[in-house]
Structure 1
Amino acid sequence: MIDAFLQFLNFEKRASAHTVKSYQTDLDQFQKYLLLQYECNAPETAQPAMLRSWVVSLIEEGLNPTSVNRKIASLRSYYAFLRRKQLISKDPTKVLSALKTRKKLPAFVEEHSMEMLFQEDTFTTDFFGLRDRVVIELLYGSGIRLAELLDLEVRHVDLHAYTLRVFGKRAKERIVPIGKTLAALLEMYLKERTELAAVDNLIITDAGKAAYPVFIQRLVKKYLSAVTTLSQKSPHILRHTYATHLLNRGADLNAIKELLGHANLAATQIYTHNSIEKLKKTHQQAHPKA
């Protein structure tokens, strides 16, 4: 039934490949635990105590609370699916409670560091340097996710309207504006890309094939390493940076929500904490009574 659930996520819920893979990893791990500890090879027959035992084993292994909570969420989704299919009468995950986690503020790159990154001598003058700059400028200039960047095709770029047609989680479409500088850069890139590309994807590798996650992650890490000491130097950091810089410069929170493609405002509100922390520092540095 795990395979049926994964197909449901893929074709009916239209979850991303990354999400489906995460569910598969969690459920495979759970299934192996049941077989090893209880000689149970059918998760749909597992008792609540077995689920609780697996969660306890994860905690004892030292898995961080966020990862444990993700695995609990995977179980809940799976057993909810089984109930909808009327394969079980009771939900065994009701005995599980999410672990408390510390809320981490999203890390971001300071504005002056981003300005340093876009200096003329940062990128090489050949096509590959232009491609690298387009990747960094797109992630920072539009706030799109890594998966959304990889799914972008040439036809999704409208240089006249200064927009991108982006397909987010569950294939939800949104229009994202881009600046004139980025549009001009894309125009240059598209002219040179034509001779090398063998695919429709906007971003290509050195061999002219569609870019893949690790390729982009390495590229971003390489350039961010030159301007920031943040431990995490990922494409998602540029998304956080995009949102934080918009908020710091007075953008409306609801507008940022739409730009990021968030389903609800709660997901966007994490960026307000960074702005509050910045205000606190300003107060401490400038006010006589601080």
Structure 2
Amino acid sequence: MYLKEFERYLQFERRYSKHTLIAYVHEVNLFLTFLEHEHLAFDQVNHRDMRHYFALMAEAKKSASTVNRSISSLRTYYKFLQREGIVKGSPIQIKALKTPKKLPVVVEKDKLLQLLDHMEVNVHDFETRRDKLVVELLFGTGIRLAELLQIQDRDIDYYNKNMLIFGKRNKERLVPINETLIKELQLYLQAKSLYIENNKSSFLIVTKEGKPAYEKLIYRIVHKYLSMVSSQKKRSPHILRHTFATALLDNGADLNAIKELLGHAGLAATQVYTHNSVERLKSIYKQAHPKA
């Protein structure tokens, strides 16, 4: 089955994120369970077996995105096996399904700005200072949750007003930081040195015990504050990334510049934000034009 080897391949050679790695291994495990049930060997599977597997997924009413994730996972798995000389070729001859494009969910910019401007911070409480910085950083830079957790104190250049970010597959990029963020960072680092005893962590965002922050903590922080300005179900850190990109586009930023700031590999991923801006313009037109 070579699952451990496949996992190492994804982690160290392909440099996939933790989430992608977990998802791919999960999909391969599901497929191997199917093979066991069908009394098939993984190195003897043909394209008819693969069609049968994906047909079963369709019968189980799996979404197109779930099926596509499985196709991508298994295609990568068999490419790995082929590279290692374990199989002669890949049995996957299935194209990805078409999925409906979902517009990025955003928070109303004015409400978010009002929240940040009036967010109460107890100067004697490290956690409230940290929580405000988390929201400011995510909205002020558009970085991903995983990228936020990887930032170290040394990655911040106050003189040039930028921050070194390690993105997907360890790709580096410099992200500018504004004066508000610089002030928040300095206040946070003061609180960190004052209230965290024996703080030896080099990571920027830490728990009250001085340990590196983790995903659930950031989710809780963002959910708490977005609940104050939004009634929508989704209140995740990624929504602040979407809001950052949409705000830049609405204010005339070049799409290529937004692509670089977000760390997208191609322009296609960035272009989804243009739909949000078009929808917003339509809404304004309907409200403002006498014949709309």
* Separation (CA, whole Å) in 1 of partners of 2:120 and 2:35: 53
- Aligned partner of 1:192 in structure 2 is 191
| Contact 1:34/1:50 (<8 A) preserved | no
Q: 1:78, CA displacement in angstroms?
A: 1.1
Q: 1:4, CA displacement in angstroms?
A: 1.6
Q: 1:63, CA displacement in angstroms?
A: 2.1
Picking from 84, 104, 107, the partner of 2:105 is: 107
| Contact 2:126/2:208 (<8 A) preserved | no
* Separation (CA, whole Å) in 2 of partners of 1:76 and 1:48: 12
- Aligned partner of 1:271 in structure 2 is 273
**What SS does the aligned partner of 1:165 have?**
strand
Q: Name segments (4+ residues, structure 1) moved above 3 Å.
A: 121-125
| Contact 1:116/1:227 (<8 A) preserved | no
Structure 1 runs not aligned, ≥5 long: none
Q: 1:45, CA displacement in angstroms?
A: 2.5
* Separation (CA, whole Å) in 2 of partners of 1:121 and 1:110: 16
The aligned runs of 1:103-252 (5 Å cut-off) are 103-125=101-123, 126-195=125-194, 196=196, 197-252=199-254
| Contact 1:159/1:187 (<8 A) preserved | no
Q: Which amino acid aligns with 2:253?
A: A
Q: 1:75, CA displacement in angstroms?
A: 0.8
Q: 1:51, CA displacement in angstroms?
A: 1.9
**How far does the alpha carbon of each residue in 1:16-45 deviate from its partner, in whole angstroms, 9 at most, with x for none?**
222211111111111112112x123x4233
Task: Say how many residue pairs are matched.
Answer: 287
Q: Which amino acid aligns with 2:144?
A: R
**What SS does the aligned partner of 1:118 have?**
helix
**What SS does the aligned partner of 2:118 have?**
coil
The aligned runs of 1:34-113 (5 Å cut-off) are 34-36=35-37, 38-40=38-40, 42-94=41-93, 96-113=94-111
TM-score computed with the length of structure 2 as normaliser: 0.94
* Separation (CA, whole Å) in 2 of partners of 1:164 and 1:65: 37
Q: 1:124, CA displacement in angstroms?
A: 4.0
**How far does the alpha carbon of each residue in 1:65-124 deviate from its partner, in whole angstroms, 9 at most, with x for none?**
112211111111111222223332232111x23222111100101111102321434444
| Contact 1:257/1:268 (<8 A) preserved | yes
TM-score computed with the length of structure 1 as normaliser: 0.94
Q: 1:141, CA displacement in angstroms?
A: 0.3
- Aligned partner of 1:20 in structure 2 is 21
Identify if the C-alpha distance between structure 1 residues 122 and 65 changes in structure 2 by more than 3 Å, giving closer, same or farther: farther
* Separation (CA, whole Å) in 1 of partners of 2:104 and 2:121: 27
Give the fraction of aligned pairs with identical amino acids, expressed as a percent: 46
Structure 2 runs not aligned, ≥5 long: none
* Separation (CA, whole Å) in 1 of partners of 2:42 and 2:200: 44
* Separation (CA, whole Å) in 2 of partners of 1:134 and 1:262: 24
| Contact 2:129/2:191 (<8 A) preserved | no
